[in-house]
Every structure is written in C-alpha cells, then in structure tokens.
Amino acid sequence: MSTENAGDGTAAGQRRMPAEWERHKRAWMAWPTRGYTLGATAAEAKEARVAWASVANAVAGYEPLSMLVTPDEMAEARRRLSGDVELIEADFDDAWYRDTGPTFVLDNGVLAGVDWVFNGWGQQDWAQWELDARAALVALEASGARRIASPMVNEGGAIHTDGLGTVLATRSVQLDPLRNPGWTAEQVAAELARTLGARQVIWFERGLHRDAQRFGTKGHVDILATFCAPGRVLFHDQRDGAHPDAAVSAELRAVLESSADAGGKPLELVPLPAPATLRDAEGFVDYSYVNHFVVNGAVIACAFDDPHDQRAAGILADAYPGRVIVPVDARPIFARGGGIHCITQQEPAG
C-alpha cells in the first residue's frame, strides 16, 4: 500500500468517488466487539450480533464481503456468519465501518482510498477512537488500494455522491468545531474536490433530531438523503408534525428544490416516507429508509416492523430498477446509533 499525503495538488478531475449503485468488487463491515455497540448484557450482545450478521449474510448473498473481527470474537463471528464472508482479524473500537473505514475512490481508474481523520464523531465523550483512528488501514492494505491521506475529520456516513461530482453533506458535521475547528465550507469543498473529485457540494444545515442528541453523529447525511441515479435524490419525508423531523424534512426539500447537480441540472426529488413509528423508549426515533445499502443486484433495506415498510420497499424498487429489495430489521442497529448503511462500506470494481 502506497500513501499520498494531503496537499499534493492532485487535480480533482483525476479522481472520482463512484456512486454506490455502480459495480462493487466487495463490501466491508466490522463485527460488534465491545462497548455500547455490543451492549452491557448477554442479551444485548446477542441482539447486536444477530443484527450485524443479518445484514452481513444478506450482503454476502449478492457480492463478496470482508468482515473485520477482533480475536476474541472470531469464534462467534464464524458461528453466525455465512461461510462466504471473509473474516479478517483486526483490533478496533466500534463496528461502524462506514465511518471508520476508508472512502474508496478511483484515481485514473486505479483503486485508492481516502483515509479521513476520525475523532469519535466530534470527540463525543462516550466514544473511543484510538484504535478506530487506524481502522481504515486494514481495508486499504487488504484491498491494495493506495492511501490518500486527508487532514479533514470526516466520516463515510457524512457524504453521499452521484458518482459524477455532486456531493451531499451537512454543515453540522464537516463544520463542527470539535471536528474541523476554523474550517470554512469553501475549505471543506476544496478538500472533497481533492480527495473525491467533488465539483458541487449541496449543503444541508443539520441532520435528524435524534442524531443531534448526545449519542448521535451530529447530523450524518446518510439518513437524510441519497442519490439513487444521476439527478435523482431520495430524501427522508417526515410529514407528521408531531415529530421534530417534520421541520428537517421541509428544510431538506427546500434545499434540494433550489439546488442543481455538478452538471448544472435541477434535481428530481423522490420523497421516501418516514416510518409511522414516532417514538421508542428513548424518545423520538430517527428511523429512516434512506439508510439502505445498494449492492450488486440488490438493495439491503431498513425495515422497522412498521406500516410504512412495504410502501418504502416499493419506492426503493422503483428507484433501483432491476435490483431485489431485501428488507432487514434495522431497529437493533438504530438503537445503537446508526443503520444498515452506517455499518457497511463499498469497494468499487474499478
């Protein structure tokens, strides 16, 4: 694995972050191993393992999957995962590999990976990140991707792209003073251009209500909105005024209606209804069908045992024609602070 340092002046046009629906060589995940992700009791640990295994086995039915596993969890992972899943022994803190793993790009068609600075979602007091700060190196070394070092604190769940230079992001994440103190939106856009080939950044002010609370990410975009095709955006559409995310959805729609992609074309908006469920034992939920993972031939979709599950699956089927919609119960993952997209990461075929 070779490394390129930040500030090398590489032209943005040489790099491209492929869209998630483009062909993958494989997917990456990390097995829940300790702390709040695994839980404090045997029952909570089993729930986490079952949830992660359900996603992993669904993904492995459509494309190769490599899973980081700590030595003490290797036997448990082997027992619960399909034999098709490659297990890679590694040490890390949390199982949110979308955020701690590399963001893969193509550099003149050659695989590379952006190694962002990771600091526990903005130095959250409940997070540990000493090991996670190096977790991206595991996938970079195993894949043979060239490392692109970035000085910017960022996570994979904080960006989405159409593969053609348009990137979705939130000011509450990249401009978080506990992530990137003193950075401006222009500096963030320039770094996204250098690393991902971004030509247009569409900024949302904030994320969902619960994601802004103590155990959230402070506003990841991958539960807000995503491209499903060039020029088409799926967005979280909360219509129930009793939920604080109704205001967030209105803001999303307003930003998207006034935005254009990197080619200057207006966006086509596809509302993806929020689940009917408004609350759980902890308060207002951030359940979102936007947090799905597109794989080769399928979409691994969030399900919540909710009246809107079937309707959302139908919208996803229309958004990704020719792909099988595979619903997986995402409630145990959301209870730990994320969703299906948050625990997966794609490596493009190149």
Q: What is the mean pLDDT of the chain?
A: 95
Number of domains the chain contains: 1
The residue-averaged pLDDT of 164-185 equals 98
Helices then strands, counting H and E runs in the chain, come out as 11, 20
H helix runs in 156-286, sequence order: 171-174, 185-196, 245-257
Q: What is the DSSP string of 277-337?
A: --EETTEE----TT--EEETTEEEEEE-S-TTHHHHHHHHHHHSTT-EEEEEE-HHHHTTT
How high is the pLDDT of residue 10?
45
Q: What is the pLDDT of residues 288-329, one digit of tens each?
A: 999 999 999 999 999 999 999 999 999 999 999 999 999 999
CATH number at residue 133: 3.75.10.10
The whole-number pLDDT of residue 13 equals 54
pLDDT on residue 244: 98
Catalytic choice (342, 343, 344, 347): 342
- What span, in angstroms and rounded, lies between the C-alpha atoms of 252 and 260? 14
* pLDDT tens readout for residues 19-55: 999 999 999 999 999 877 888 899 999 999 999 999 9
Report the percent of the chain where pLDDT is more than 90.
Answer: 89
- Residues belonging to the chain: 350
Q: Cβ of 22: how many Cβ atoms within 10 Å? A: 16
Q: Is 228 a known active-site residue? A: no
**Phi, psi (degrees; rounded to nearest 5) at 265:** -95, 140
Residues facing 106 on adjacent strands: 16, 111
Tokens at residue 44, please? 């909570």
- β-sheet bridge partners, residue 3: 147
Summarize pLDDT for 247-302 with one digit per residue, the tens. Answer: 999 999 999 999 999 999 999 999 999 999 999 999 999 999 999 999 999 999 99
**Does pLDDT of 1 surpass 50?**
yes
Expressed as residue numbers, the domain containing 269 is 3-348
Q: What is the pTM of this model?
A: 0.96
